Structure 1
Amino acid sequence: MFMTVGEDVSNGLRIEQPYFQRDTPLTWEDEGSYIEIAAEAPEITHTRNHQWNHSLGEIVTALVRAGLVIDALEEVPYSAWAPWPELMVEDEGRGYRLRDRPERLPLQFVVEAHQPQ
Structure 2
Amino acid sequence: TGMFCILAVMGWHSTMILFALSTNFYLSVGILVVTGMMFSSSLVLVLTVLMKTGRPEFRGRLMGLRTLAIYAHAFGSLGAGAVAGALGAPASAVLSGLFGIAMMLVLALIAPKLRRF
When the two structures are superposed, what TM-score results if normalisation uses the length of structure 2?
A: 0.30
Q: Which has the higher strand share?
A: 1
Max Rg structure: 1
